[in-house]
Amino acid sequence: MITHKRLADGFEYIEVKNSAAEAKVALQGAHLFHYVKAGEEPILWLSETSDFELGKAIRGGVPLCWPWFGFNEDKSLPQHGFARVMMWEFVGGDEVDARTTVLTFRLTNDEKTVQIWHYKFLLELKITISDKLTLELKTTNTDDKSFKISQALHTYFSVSHISEVAIKGLDKKPYLDALTWKNELQEGDISFHQEVDRVYQNVDGEIVLSDKKREIYIKNSGSSSVVVWNPWIEKTLRMSAMKPNAYESMVCIESANAFDDARVLKPHEVHVLGAVID
Ligand code: BG6
Task: Report which of 70, 69, 68, 52 is spatially closest to residue 60, judged by C-alpha positions.
Answer: 52
- From 124, 254, 269, 271, the catalytic residue: 254
Per-residue pLDDT tens digits for 33-57: 999 999 999 999 999 998 788 899 9
Residue-wise pLDDT tens digits, 161-204: 999 999 999 999 999 999 999 999 999 999 999 999 999 999 99
Q: What is the pLDDT, as a whole number, of residue 227?
A: 98
154 included as an active-site residue: yes
Q: Is any atom of ligand 1 closer than 6 Å to the C-beta of 236?
A: no
Contact 70, 261 (CB under 8 A): no
What range defines the domain where residue 262 resides? 2-277
CA 260/CA 69 separation, integer angstroms = 12
| Dihedral sign from CA coordinates of 233, 158, 156, 276 | positive
N-terminal to C-terminal alpha carbon distance within the chain: 22
Q: Which entry of 31, 34, 154, 248 is annotated as an active-site residue? A: 154
Residue 118 and residue 137: Cα distance in Å, rounded?
20
> Annotated catalytic, 254?
yes
**How many domains does the chain divide into?**
1
Q: Which 3 state secondary structure label does DSSP give 229?
A: strand
Per 3-state DSSP, what percentage of the chain is helix, strand, and coil (rounded to 5)?
Answer: 10, 45, 45
pLDDT mean by block of 10 residues, the chain; 278 residues:
91 97 98 98 95 91 98 94 98 98 98 96 98 98 98 98 98 98 98 98 97 96 98 96 97 98 98 98
H-helix or E-strand spanning residue 133: strand 133-141
pLDDT of residue 7: 87
Spatial separation of the C-alpha atoms in residues 86 and 68, rounded to whole Å: 14
pLDDT the model gives residue 19: 98
Q: How far apart are CA 33 and CA 257, in angstroms?
A: 21
d(CA 66, CA 78): 11
Q: Is 177 in the pocket of ligand 1 (CB under 6 A)?
A: no
**Local structure of 212: helix, strand or coil:** coil
* Rounded Cα gap, residues 260 and 200, in angstroms: 10
| Interacting residues of 133 by C-beta distance below 8 A, sequence separation 6+ | 21, 23, 32, 35, 43, 127, 276, 277, 278
pLDDT at 60 (0 to 100): 98
Q: Which residues pair with 216 in a beta bridge?
A: 209
Phi then psi dihedrals of residue 207, to 5 deg: -110, 140
Taking the C-alpha atoms of residue 76 and residue 56, their distance in angstroms, rounded to an integer, is 16
- Ligand 1 near 71 CB (within 6 A): no
- CATH code, 149: 2.70.98.10
